[in-house]
């Protein structure tokens, strides 16, 4: 595939005007856990070259926890959440300081953006996140994004930043996502095995049926593996954003459009940004059970969920939390942000909006889950 006027180079890369680049911990740090200045310098040089071409860049960077290991005297990534958060607190500043110094050599200003799920799933927050990115890019700043590991309220999960990068790419309306790793692309088998071959192009999900996806990666520093990178590629390409997966040392070639690594072609169209995050970045705090009529209304007519169609509820949640909506068989069909606490819903089950307004007040007339806060699974 070729770009306009650039034979032998990927059009998806050459024509991209806004690119999100994700780099993993193992591509930035030494085996002992400290930041490798030379690796950071090479990455920044590639990003600066991309900026010179007039392309806007957002960097999603792992490495905060890994960067904090050596200063704290830790030999490998800790298992306890509190120690992970302590390492992130120490390492995040060191990581961004290193990026800031290297980018300054190219006349580029760095800006730190630490995200939590609430920043992009709750209606009152996600637009502010979009506006922040838009203003940073307008001012010529290169945003450096990470999950806010220091104050995460649930355990920092396997491969979060691969998924985070895919969702950020959609949030900022990127034209391309580049995933940099310690392997040079997707292989049809474990790349350490003889006879395995690099897969240069993935045009559809069906192309993955012959691929054996293992958890290749460097142990002890990062958390990601090939599974999380393919899942990130599914999210991005399903939202209309092509993805290049390659090794960090090939960043310059990949960003120049050379056919290195694996190119995942876009398979879908863009979706409303917040709903993409709701579908892929949240975990349901509970389940609301629906009768068959309510399932049809939600799935086929994309209607809001009303109390009249509810048959039961499980879990503990508060108003504003994500919950799954399941049919009579218990299989989730949608996820949404609920407007009531879990303990309130049993009093609403099967009742019409008019009855609820008359008996409990106008506040109980509203939808249990509004259609604007609901995504089909």
DSSP secondary structure letter of residue 300: T
Partners of 14 in beta bridges: none
CA angle 307, 309, 313 (to 5 degrees): 70
247 and 328 assigned to the same domain: no
63 and 152 assigned to the same domain: yes
| Burial class of residue 105 in the structure, from the number of CB atoms within 10 Å of its CB (0-12 exposed, 13-18 middle, 19+ buried) | exposed
Q: What is the pLDDT of residue 216?
A: 44
Q: Which domain holds residue 298?
A: 283-376
> Residue 146 belongs to what H/E stretch?
strand 141-147
Instruction: For the chain, count helices (H), then strands (E).
Output: 12, 13
Select from 277, 293, 316 the last residue of a domain: 277
Average pLDDT estimate for 191-201: 86
Residue 6 lies in a domain: no
Which residues of 29-122 form beta strands (DSSP E)? 56-61, 109-115
Three-state helix/strand/coil letters over 57-101? EEEEECCHHHHHHCCCCCCCCCCCHHHHHHHHHHHHHHHHHHHHH
Residue 364 lies in a domain: yes
- CATH number, domain at 336? 2.30.130.10
- The four Cα atoms 231, 235, 237, 242 give a dihedral, to 10 degrees, of -80
Which of 66-86 are b and which e, b meaning 16 or more Cβ less than 10 Å from the residue's Cβ?
bbbbbeeebeebbeeeebbbb
Residue 130 lies in a domain: yes
Residue 372 lies in a domain: yes
How many angstroms separate the CA atoms of 25 and 218, rounded? Answer: 9
130 and 204 assigned to the same domain: yes
Select from 246, 277, 308 the last residue of a domain: 277
75 and 191 assigned to the same domain: yes
167 and 207 assigned to the same domain: yes
Question: How far from the centroid of its chain's Cα atoms is residue 353's Cα?
Answer: 37
Q: What is the pLDDT of residue 368?
A: 95
227 and 288 assigned to the same domain: no
Residue 4 lies in a domain: no
120 and 20 assigned to the same domain: yes
Structure tokens at 267: 């398979």
Partners of 61 in beta bridges: 23
Range in 153-167, 233-247, 304-318 with the lowest mean pLDDT: 153-167
259 and 217 assigned to the same domain: yes
271 and 354 assigned to the same domain: no
Residue 149: CB atoms within 10 A of its CB come to 23
Residue 1 lies in a domain: no
Q: How confident is the model at residue 61 (pLDDT cuts 50, 70, 90)?
A: very high
pLDDT above 90 for 182: no
123 and 200 assigned to the same domain: yes
How many angstroms separate the CA atoms of 21 and 133, rounded? Answer: 15
Task: Compute and round to an integer the Cα radius of gyration of the chain.
Answer: 22
Residue 270 lies in a domain: yes
256 and 287 assigned to the same domain: no
Average pLDDT estimate for 356-372: 86
Q: What is the number of domains present in the chain?
A: 2
Tens digits of residue pLDDT in 95-117: 999 999 999 999 999 999 998 77
Structure tokens at 175: 């034209």
How many angstroms separate the CA atoms of 87 and 63, rounded? Answer: 10
* Contact status, residue 278 vs residue 121, Cβ threshold 8 Å: yes
Residue 3 lies in a domain: no
Tens digits of residue pLDDT in 267-302: 877 766 677 778 877 788 999 999 999 999 999 999
- CATH number, domain at 196? 3.40.1160.10
Q: What is the pLDDT of residue 34?
A: 77
217 and 332 assigned to the same domain: no
Select from 251, 277, 303 the last residue of a domain: 277
CA angle 272, 165, 125 (to 5 degrees): 50
Backbone angles phi, psi at 89, to 5 degrees: -60, -45
Residue 129: CB atoms within 10 A of its CB come to 21
Query: Quick check: helix, strand or coil at residue 310?
Result: strand
Predicted structure pTM score: 0.80
């Amino acid at each position: 595939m070729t770009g306009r006027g650039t034979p032998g180079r990927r059009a998806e890369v050459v024509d991209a005007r806004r690119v999100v680049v994700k780099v993993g911990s193992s591509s930035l740090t030494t085996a002992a856990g400290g930041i490798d200045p030379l690796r950071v310098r090479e990455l920044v040089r590639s990003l600066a070259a991309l900026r010179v071409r007039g392309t806007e860049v957002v960097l999603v960077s792992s490495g905060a926890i890994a960067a904090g290991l050596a200063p704290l005297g830790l030999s490998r990534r800790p298992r306890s959440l509190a120690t992970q958060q302590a390492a992130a607190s120490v390492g995040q500043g060191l990581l961004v300081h290193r990026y800031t110094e290297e980018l300054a050599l190219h006349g580029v200003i760095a800006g730190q953006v630490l995200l939590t799920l609430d920043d992009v799933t709750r209606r009152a927050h996600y637009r502010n996140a979009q506006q922040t990115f838009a203003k940073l890019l307008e001012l010529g700043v290169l945003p450096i994004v990470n999950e806010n590991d220091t104050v995460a309220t649930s355990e920092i999960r396997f491969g979060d930043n691969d998924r985070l990068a895919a969702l950020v790419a959609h949030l900022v309306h990127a034209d391309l996502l580049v995933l940099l790793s310690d392997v040079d692309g997707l292989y049809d088998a474990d790349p350490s095995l003889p006879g395995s071959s690099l897969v240069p192009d993935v045009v559809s999900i069906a192309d993955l049926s012959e691929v054996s996806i293992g958890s290749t990666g460097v142990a002890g520093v990062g958390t990601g593996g090939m599974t999380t990178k393919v899942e990130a590629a599914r999210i991005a390409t399903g939202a209309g954003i092509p993805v290049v997966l390659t090794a960090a040392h090939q960043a310059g070639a990949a960003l120049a459009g050379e056919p290195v690594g694996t190119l995942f072609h876009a398979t879908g169209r863009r979706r409303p940004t917040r709903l993409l995050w709701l579908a892929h970045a949240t975990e349901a705090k509970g389940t609301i059970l629906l009768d068959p009529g309510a399932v049809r209304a939600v799935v086929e007519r994309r209607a809001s969920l009303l109390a009249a169609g509810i048959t039961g509820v499980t879990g503990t949640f508060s108003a504003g939390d994500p919950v799954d909506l399941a049919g009579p068989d218990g299989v989730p069909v949608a996820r949404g942000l609920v407007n009531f606490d879990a303990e309130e819903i049993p009093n609403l089950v099967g009742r019409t909006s008019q009855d609820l307004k008359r008996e409990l007040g106008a506040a109980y007339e509203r939808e249990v889950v509004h259609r604007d806060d609901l995504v089909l699974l």
